[in-house]
Structure 1
Amino acid sequence: MSKCENYRGITLLSVPGKVFNRVLLNRMKDEVDAQLRDQQAGFRGDRSCTDQIATLRIIVEQSVEWNSSLYINFIDYEKAFNSVDRRTLWKLLRHYGVPEKIATIIQNSYDGLQCKVVHGGQLTDSFQVRTGVRQGCLLSPFLFLLVVDWIMKTSTSEGKHGIQWTARNQLDDLDFADDLALLSHTHEQMQMKKTRVAVGLQ
């Protein structure tokens, strides 16, 4: 309990601030959501963790039935929100077509962001936080998805290292927010995919 890594900072926003963030989210979410990969079910409407589990179960059952090899690599993105590189995030906002005015507002809200820690009933001096998205902010899940979507999109676009899901389509992974399940038919393909994803997550 005394270790710093066991704790996460949270952002306390005013009620008007929360309402404003909701307005921003509503103005950009639908257009951007249509560009996100179907494999990602986290923080998205009409999608759930249950759907991903059911799909994964079907994949495993089919592999057993057809006596085909199947490799699954589960990845949990440690301290996901805290590790987002903001310079990359600002570029991705524009890449996914977020209106410049909204992207600038979001970016400006992070300029000079400072935190304090309460320990033993005492409040520390403020310190600047230069990475990550704010825990507890309504926009953070959406912003985080942009980063994960880009990482997975670029990591799985080279070659065909997934499993045959339909006659025309391969399935490289199933994701729920920062929980990733990489899929492959061979150990060699899985190693290549895992390496590319690991590079992206760094």
Structure 2
Amino acid sequence: MVFVSRLLLEKCREQKCDASFAFTDPTKAFHTINRPLLWNVLQRYGCPHKLLAMLRQFHDGMQARVTLGGDQSNYFNVQVGVKQSCVLAPFFFNVFLVAMTLLSRYDLNSEDGIPTRYRHDGSLFNLRRLKSLTKTQSTTLFQLQYADDCETLAHE
């Protein structure tokens, strides 16, 4: 992702357009997911009612406590996030991230992203071939995702 980001930044500088890149690391985001919104997203994606009710029950009444230097705090209620040890937590987060990405796209114009041209044949680094208008395709990039990293792109 860093390689692609640097290439995009280089191209924006060559074309004298301002670019903005926002990096986020969602690995610690499992505990920040808005659960009522997650249930709504799962319902809209067609999750069966019984399964959704079971998932809600699994997360309702979730409690935690803090351990520091051998001392433990009292239990407290956890109102947001999904259980860290749950095997479904990565799935929940991915569904939530996809839904948020799709929602953010509704607010964007095609001019907000970074336009790029590409082609599938030939040498990857043959820049003369990219100047050809006949065999190239174009797209607008709004976001890059790789493993657990996410980058939002924009230009003026």
Bigger strand share: 2
* Equivalence for 1:175: 145
TM-score, normalised to structure 2's length? Answer: 0.69
Which of the numbers 109, 115, 119 marks the counterpart of 1:164? Answer: 115
Aligned pair 1:53/2:23, yes or no?
no
The total of aligned residue pairs comes to 134
- Sort the Cα spacing of 1:176 and 1:132 in 2 relative to 1 into closer, same or farther, 3 A: farther
- Sort the Cα spacing of 1:116 and 1:57 in 2 relative to 1 into closer, same or farther, 3 A: same
CA deviations on 1:21-44 (whole Å, 9 max, x unpaired) are xxxxxxxxxxxxxxxxxxxxxxxx
- Sort the Cα spacing of 1:178 and 1:148 in 2 relative to 1 into closer, same or farther, 3 A: farther
* Equivalence for 2:74: 125
Bigger helix share: 1
- Sort the Cα spacing of 1:114 and 1:138 in 2 relative to 1 into closer, same or farther, 3 A: same
SS at match of 1:136: coil
Q: What displacement does 1:136 show?
A: 3.3
Which of the numbers 17, 37, 40 marks the counterpart of 1:88? Answer: 37
* Equivalence for 2:17: 69
Unaligned ranges ≥5, structure 2: 118-136
Q: What displacement does 1:122 show?
A: 3.1
- Sort the Cα spacing of 1:61 and 1:179 in 2 relative to 1 into closer, same or farther, 3 A: same
Larger Rg: 2
For 1:106 and 1:123, the matched residues in 2 are separated by 28
- Sort the Cα spacing of 1:121 and 1:73 in 2 relative to 1 into closer, same or farther, 3 A: same
Contact 2:116–2:139 under 8 Å retained in 1: yes
CA RMSD between the two structures: 2.6
Show the 5 A alignment for 1:3-42: none
- Sort the Cα spacing of 1:124 and 1:53 in 2 relative to 1 into closer, same or farther, 3 A: same
Q: What displacement does 1:170 show?
A: 1.3
- 2:150 counterpart letter in structure 1: L
Q: What displacement does 1:77 show?
A: 5.7
For 2:50 and 2:4, the matched residues in 1 are separated by 39
Q: What displacement does 1:178 show?
A: 6.7
TM-score, normalised to structure 1's length? Answer: 0.55
Q: What displacement does 1:177 show?
A: 6.6
Contact 1:162–1:185 under 8 Å retained in 2: yes
CA deviations on 1:96-150 (whole Å, 9 max, x unpaired) are 2233333222211001111122234233322211111122322112211222222
Contact 1:115–1:126 under 8 Å retained in 2: yes
